[in-house]
Each structure stands twice: as C-alpha cells, then as structure tokens.
Amino acid sequence: MNDSKTALTLLIAAPRGFCAGVDRAIRIVELAIEKYGAPVYVRHEIVHNRYVVDALKEQGAIFVETLEDVPDGVPVVFSAHGVPKAVPAKAEERGLEYVDATCPLVSKVHRQAERLVEKGQHIVFIGHRDHPEVVGTFGQVPPGAMTLVETAQDAESVEIPDADNLGFLTQTTLSVDDTIEIIDVLRRRFPNINAPRSEDICYATSNRQDAVKAIAASCDAMLVIGAPNSSNSLRLVEVAEREGTSARLIQRATEIDFEWLDGVATLGITAGASAPEILVREVVDWLAERFDITEREVETTREKMLFKLPRGLEAA
C-alpha cells in the first residue's frame, strides 16, 4: 500500500451505463454513415451524452434540432427519445430518407397512447415537460387527447372532464418511487383509471435505480456519470439522495471535486443509461491518481435485453 495516498473504497453499481436502446441508437447512426456515407444528419442528440455525440460527429454525424436544419437529399436519423408523428410525415413530404432510432420501449408507449385514444379514452401522461420523449409521445395523438402530470401535487389537482373514461401512461426514464406515488394519487382520485398492461418505466431505468439503492447505504457519497439533460441520470442522483447519501452528477472525470470527497472512505459510482463504460473507467483512473483505491463491483441483476436493428440497416 502507498502510505502517501488516502484509502478509498469504490463500490461500482451494476447494471450501469449503456442500455439496449442506447446501444441500438448509436449503432444505427454508425451503420447509417457506413451505408449512406457522411454526412448523416441526426435530429436531436441521438442520446443525451456529450462524449457519445462528439464521437459520432467525428465519424460524420451532424446533429440538428429541427428537420428544417436538414438539407434536401441527405439521410436523417431520429433520436432514441422518439419524435412526434409530424416529423416523419414532413420528412416523407420532402422526400428525405430517414431512419428511426426510437427506443422500442418508447415506441411501445406510443402505440399504447394510440390504442387508448382509439378507445375514446383521455390519457394522463406522467412525465417531465419539454423532455424530448414526452414531446414525441404527445405528438402521437391529437391535441387535447393527453394531459401532462409531473408530480403527486399535479395528480391531486388535475381536472379531467370525463373521469370514468381515463387511462395513464408514463415516460420511460422516471424515478420508480416518484411514479408509484403519482399513480397512487391518480388511482385514489380516479378509481376506474386504466393502467398500462405492463410497466412503462424501462427495465434499464428500474435496474439502475435498484443498483444505486443496493449500495447507497454503504457509501459516504456517490458519483453519477451522465449528462445534465439526461432524465435517467438525474433520477439516479435523486435515488441516492433519497437513500440518505450525498450524490453528484458529473459528465467527465475532470469535474470531480476533490474537496467534496474529503472524509469519504467509500464512494459509490454509477452511470446513466447513455453514458459509456469508458467514462466510468476514466473516473476510476482519475481517482486512482489521488487515492489508494480498492474497487468492488456490486451486481444486482444481469441484463440480457437486445433490440433488433431497423430493416435495411442489418445488411450494413
């Protein structure tokens, strides 16, 4: 042991980092570049991670916020968060070739929304205003067919014209605990509300939150590697704090505040679903320069989910 370095135990949560939907979305952009040649335009960040976006830019991806920013005659990829129906319709109108990288679990929520509206039900949608996934889901149904609820307080006060003809759906990247609380309020106020047949919060979001809960009590502090606009990463910080552990979100190792680690003997580390493992290793290496680290991975479940690529890209 090196006596000049303070001992620091790292508890590394597993699962962490990339989920199947993120893996698939990144692969879609890479294969689109292989198939069509650079540049390939991507509407919105393919996933919410600066490192990933920059790596794809180097390969020939150009990220834009609207379809108007995509010139004629070039292919465009829609991000993993999903887009309103009007976007592919507009792309078709312009004759643009497009590839939809929407996560299949988000697409499942889109289809559920359509089915509820077809049945004549109003939808209470639990999610975060202006998040691209929420914007995309609202864009699957006619205006006014869905009402957004963000908090349990919203659920207490929301007014629904036909309370007996109601269903709810949720964003896939929410806090499991917060969502249960909101659903409990909705069920109390609207006893006939229709629930989705299966959980909308995606398996990866739930698993990463469970992994944080499993180590939080043993940690003096926790670092969550992810982007400030990544909903699932922000939820991991909240989960750690709810478990009584001080937690911070960082994008890269250089953002670690060593003063904040004063007195920390055991540090938890996890990564949001759009953060690559290379950033976890970067953080561990950065800490190893300052501390005498002991590293231990704590695995709560093993993920085996794989999603197929869109037709036309498999061959690439």
Are residues 175 and 210 both part of a single domain?
Answer: no
Indicate the residue among 189, 221, 243 that finishes a domain: 189
CATH of the domain at 55: 3.40.50.11270
62 within some domain? yes
Q: What is the H or E stretch that residue 62 is in?
A: strand 61-64
Q: What's the whole-number average pLDDT of the chain?
A: 95
Tally of structural domains, the chain: 3
Evaluate if residue 312 carries a pLDDT over 80: no
65 within some domain? yes
What gap in Å lies between CA 194 and CA 182, rounded to an integer?
A: 14
Q: Active site residue: 30, 45, 68, 133, which one?
A: 133
Contacts of 180 (CB under 8 A, 6+ apart): none
DSSP category for residue 255: G
CA–CA distances in Å: residue 96 to residues 78, 88, 117, 196, 227: 12, 9, 29, 34, 30
pLDDT tens, position by position, 57-98? 999 999 999 999 999 999 999 999 999 999 999 999 999 999
pLDDT band per the 50, 70, 90 thresholds, residue 315: low
Q: What is the pLDDT, as a whole number, of residue 126?
A: 97
Are residues 60 and 71 both part of a single domain?
Answer: yes
Evaluate if residue 39 carries a pLDDT over 80: yes
65 is catalytic: no
Are residues 224 and 169 both part of a single domain?
Answer: no
DSSP category for residue 7: E
pLDDT tens, position by position, 177-230? 999 999 999 999 999 999 987 778 899 999 999 999 999 999 999 999 999 999
Q: What is the pLDDT, as a whole number, of residue 200?
A: 86
Residues 287-311 have a mean pLDDT of 95
pLDDT tens, position by position, 281-295? 999 999 999 999 999
- The reported pTM is 0.93
Evaluate if residue 144 carries a pLDDT over 70: yes
Are residues 135 and 147 both part of a single domain?
Answer: yes
Q: Give residue 122's domain range.
A: 104-189
Torsion angle, alpha carbons of 278, 280, 283, 288, to 10? -100
What gap in Å lies between CA 213 and CA 206, rounded to an integer?
A: 11
pLDDT band per the 50, 70, 90 thresholds, residue 161: confident
Write down the residue that tokens 């989960």 correspond to.
Answer: 239
What's the distance, CA 159 to chain centroid?
Answer: 29
Evaluate if residue 163 carries a pLDDT over 70: yes
225 within some domain? yes
Evaluate if residue 138 carries a pLDDT over 80: yes
What gap in Å lies between CA 57 and CA 119, rounded to an integer?
A: 43
